[in-house]
Structures are given as C-alpha cells and as structure tokens.
C-alpha cells in the first residue's frame, strides 16, 4: 500500500486533505490525474449500468433530505458502530476493529494489549453527520448529510416509475457523495469521511429476488474484471446472518485482496421490500407498482449493488501498480485499463528545440484532444518523459521525430509491451480509437 500511496501523492492523484493545517484524518483531496481517473471510473460504471441497458434510468437526488427519511430508513436508530474509548490515551477505536488499530501510546501494539490501556465498554455511535437547515438557529431543523444515496432513490420511486413507464424488473442508478463519521484505522482512501457512491436500486417482482441477486453478483464481478482487476484478486462472499445490515435479507460482498487482506470492495444486498414499506408507512403514500392494464399490484423487492467510487479507484490503482527493470533501469508502471487511464496518449516532440517537430507535435495534440485525453510533454529527455507517462498509466505515446518531418509517420509506443511501431500521423486517431475499443486484460505482473 505504501508504494501506491507514495505514487498517488508524487504524481498528484490523491493528497491528504487540509495538510496546510496539519491534515484532517480520513479525508483526501484529488489532484489532476485523480480527478481524470475518478471521472473515467464513474463513466464506465454509468455506461455499464445505464447507457448499455434499457431497464435502468439515472437519478441525481439531494444530499440533504427530509430528516424523517432517515428515521423511516432505520438509519437514526440503527446506523451505528460500536466504539470504545481508551481512558489512558484518550483515543477512540471501533470495538470490532481493535486488531487492526494502533494503541495510542504504543503503536506496535493493539488497543487493550498494554497494561496501561484502559478501554471503556463498547457504546453505539451514529455514523451520520448532523447539521442544521434554517437561517435562524432557534427555528432551524436538524438534518443529516446522507450516508448512502439509496434513500434518495426510494423516495423518488413513484416519480421515476411513472415517468419512466417501466415495469419491474427495472432500476434507478445514482452516483453522488455520501458522508459517514467513521473512526478508521487508516488504509489511505479505503474508508473516508466523505466519498462518492455508485448505487443501483433494482426493483423486481418479489418471487424473483433471489435470482436477480445472483444475477447482479455475477454482473458486478464481471464489471471489475472487464476494467482490468485481476480475477485471482476478486471473490464473492455471502454475509453470515449476524453481519447483515438492518435492511438486508441477503448480502454478498465482492471482496478484493488488498494489501491489508481480503476486504469489501462492493456490496450487493437484497433489501427485500424493507425501504418501500418503511417509506409507505412513514409518509402515508403507497410505494408500490400497479399495472394500469390489469390492475395487478405489488411492492417490488430491491436488489442493490453499491460501490464506493473512491474505493474502486483505489482498487484499480493497487491492481495496476507494477515495477520492473528495463535496460538495467527501474520502471514503475500503472497498468490501468486504457479506458480508465487519466491520459489516453502522450504526444512528445523528440527534440524540443526543433521548431518543425514542435509544430507537428502540437498540431497532432490539437487534433487528438478533440476526441481523447491527451498530454503534450516537451520537458526533459525522451526516456524520462516515457517514464513519467508510465507512472500515470498512459497506455500509448506518440513521438514526433526527424523521420516525421520527411514521411509524416510517428512512433507509437505501447506502455505494456514497450513495442514501438511507425504509423502515419494522419492515421493516429483511428489507430488509438481502435486500440481503445479492443478488449483489454492486464499483462502478468513483472514485479
């Protein structure tokens, strides 16, 4: 993990937040390449969940919802973690994660392991951030920052089902920020106070829910593999009864083999009719599906694949990280799927003082950037420029050299194979688009 954290920082993917003021635990900011990578992960998710299908529509609901929603959903009473305090070091820990936490006075030990540790009994602590809406403190109301995007979907079920004229099975997908007051044992952006969620609520006839649950576990596993996560690092694990969330009748986690061990990457829950029934009771409005023709009515059951965008980005970074020695020199490379990579192609003039080469390279950059994410780099030796692109995962580089000036060809260098081929400069866009559209799987790790 340290190597990925260091690369993420060095190349401006992710920085600790509020560093100027000493940092704020479990909060991170995303720099240029981090933003581009995050946008690409989000785009690939939306493509697979909405654009490539007829049965799912998109939604963007508010972050601050009516506070009664969180009472009805069970989050006010049940969205808690068991916490213990240490009376000696004054640190707070999750009671169920003591084995992964560091003692406040002796970081080589876990809380409770030294004779000085004096832990309280576990107490339930609500994870929702509370704030106030209203200009005047006395007349304002307490509201919550949403801890999941899902509730915004359930309370819009009636609107969307009517407008979309969809019959179950159909789904509503949403990507947006969520907030949780987490006490975390570190692990970079794995668990943070604010993060983006990519959630689908898929409404199905009750009798079909087990089948659709299986379907979505398989579908979501395939998505991670499609975008380059190595299959041997992924597994699906069904929750034991005592692990299930308050709303779930069955959950399977897609787990990834992180440096700290197998942990949840994405959860796929069968929420049954819990949420629609709860909101029907609390709001007095029936949330059910009614067939206008036959009059058939039922409360759909819900299958929910829910993935943290930031956790997905972390997983892609870890899985893509590789080191090797090429021509007796170390090379660090991110073997990201080309459709996730922040930059699709670099354009490099070989001799940066050669005006004709620079002009050709800039014209090529201008043409390509209308269609692709392109970075023009003219600083330093060509080898160093290639290495910089390798570190941010750029799959291809186009180099304009002396030969370009005489025959209008450029060198296309492949990040993974290091193969270089000459292609006509006029065919560069087509060559890159063809490569982008081709299926891709990660080459074996060198390091």
> In the complex, which residues of this chain contact ligand GAP (CB under 6 A)?
148, 150, 180, 182, 191-192, 195, 197, 199, 264-267, 304, 306-308, 310-311
**What is the DSSP annotation of 118-173?**
-BPPPEEEE---EEEESSSGGG-EEEEB-S-SHHHHHTTHHHHHHHHT--SSEEEE
Contact 125, 84 (CB under 8 A): no
Nearest-CA neighbor of 427 among 409, 413, 414, 415?
409
Between 94 and 385, CB nearer to ligand GAP = 94
437, with CB counted inside 10 A (0-12, 13-18, 19+), is exposed
In the complex, least distance from residue 195 CB atom to ligand GAP, rounded to whole angstroms:
4
Between 215 and 376, CB nearer to ligand GAP = 215
b or e along 346-356 (b: 16 or more beta carbons within 10 Å of the residue's beta carbon)? bbbbbebebee
CA torsion 119-124-129-131 (nearest 10°) is -110
Cα gap 63→66, rounded to integer Å: 10
Between 311 and 413, CB nearer to ligand GAP = 311
Between 149 and 409, CB nearer to ligand GAP = 149
In the complex, least distance from residue 255 CB atom to ligand GAP, rounded to whole angstroms:
10
In the complex, least distance from residue 128 CB atom to ligand GAP, rounded to whole angstroms:
12
In the complex, least distance from residue 182 CB atom to ligand GAP, rounded to whole angstroms:
5
Q: Computed from CA positions of residues 273, 275, 281, 283, in that sequence, does the dihedral angle turn out positive or negative?
A: negative
In the complex, least distance from residue 308 CB atom to ligand GAP, rounded to whole angstroms:
3
Between 308 and 393, CB nearer to ligand GAP = 308
Between 94 and 191, CB nearer to ligand GAP = 191
As a residue count, the chain comes to 447
Cα gap 56→200, rounded to integer Å: 9
Count Cβ atoms below 10 Å from residue 172 Cβ, excluding itself: 27
**What is the DSSP annotation of 190-241?**
GS-SEEEEEEEEEEE-GGGHHHHHHHHHHHHHHHHHHTT--GGGEEEEEPPG
In the complex, least distance from residue 184 CB atom to ligand GAP, rounded to whole angstroms:
7
- E strand or H helix at 323, and its extent? strand 321-326
In the complex, least distance from residue 180 CB atom to ligand GAP, rounded to whole angstroms:
5
Between 270 and 344, CB nearer to ligand GAP = 270
Between 70 and 396, CB nearer to ligand GAP = 70
In the complex, least distance from residue 245 CB atom to ligand GAP, rounded to whole angstroms:
7
Cα gap 413→229, rounded to integer Å: 23
Between 183 and 347, CB nearer to ligand GAP = 183
In the complex, least distance from residue 267 CB atom to ligand GAP, rounded to whole angstroms:
4
Cα gap 306→298, rounded to integer Å: 24
Q: Residue with the closest Cβ to ligand GAP?
A: 308
Cα gap 392→343, rounded to integer Å: 8
């Amino acid at each position: 993990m340290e190597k990925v954290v260091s690369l993420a920082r060095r190349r401006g993917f992710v920085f600790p937040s509020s560093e100027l003021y000493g940092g704020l635990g479990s909060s991170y900011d995303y720099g240029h390449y981090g933003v581009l990578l995050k946008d690409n992960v989000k785009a690939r998710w939306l493509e697979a969940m909405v654009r490539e299908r007829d049965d799912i529509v998109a939604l963007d609901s508010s972050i601050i919802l009516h506070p009664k929603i969180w009472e009805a959903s069970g989050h006010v009473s049940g969205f808690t973690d068991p916490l213990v305090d240490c009376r000696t070091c004054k640190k707070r820990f999750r009671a169920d994660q003591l084995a992964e936490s560091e003692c406040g006075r002796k970081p080589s030990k876990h809380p409770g392991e030294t004779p000085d540790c004096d832990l309280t009994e576990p107490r339930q602590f609500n994870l929702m951030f509370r704030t106030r809406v209203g200009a005047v403190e006395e007349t304002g109301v307490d509201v919550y920052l949403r801890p999941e995007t899902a509730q915004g979907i359930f309370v819009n079920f009636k609107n969307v089902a009517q407008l979309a004229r969809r019959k179950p099975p159909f789904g509503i997908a949403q990507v947006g920020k969520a907030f949780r007051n987490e006490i975390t044992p570190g692990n970079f952006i794995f668990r943070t106070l604010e993060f983006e969620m990519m959630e689908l609520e898929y409404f199905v006839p009750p009798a079909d829910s087990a089948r659709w649950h299986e379907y979505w576990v398989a579908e979501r596993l395939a998505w991670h593999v499609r975008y380059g996560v190595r299959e041997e690092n992924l597994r699906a694990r069904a929750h034991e009864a005592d692990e299930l969330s308050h709303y779930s009748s069955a959950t399977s986690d897609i787990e990834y083999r992180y440096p700290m061990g197998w942990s949840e990457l994405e959860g796929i829950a069968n929420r049954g009719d819990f949420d629609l029934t709860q909101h029907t009771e609390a709001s007095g409005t029936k949330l059910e599906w009614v067939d206008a023709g036959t009059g058939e009515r039922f409360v759909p059951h819900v299958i929910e694949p829910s993935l943290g965008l930031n956790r997905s980005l972390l997983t892609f970074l870890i899985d893509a990280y590789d080191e090797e020695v090429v021509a007796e020199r170390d090379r660090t490379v991110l073997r990201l799927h080309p459709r996730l990579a922040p930059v699709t192609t670099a354009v490099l003039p070989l001799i940066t003082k050669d005006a004709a080469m620079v002009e050709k390279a800039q014209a090529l950059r201008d043409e390509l950037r209308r269609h692709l994410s392109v970075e023009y780099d003219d600083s330093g030796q060509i080898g160093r420029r290639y290495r910089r692109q390798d570190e941010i995962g750029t799959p291809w580089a186009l180099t304009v050299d002396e030969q370009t000036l005489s025959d209008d060809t450029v060198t296309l260098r492949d990040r993974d194979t290091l193969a270089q081929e000459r292609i006509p400069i006029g065919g560069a866009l087509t060559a890159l688009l063809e490569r982008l559209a081709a299926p891709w799987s990660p080459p074996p790790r060198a390091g």
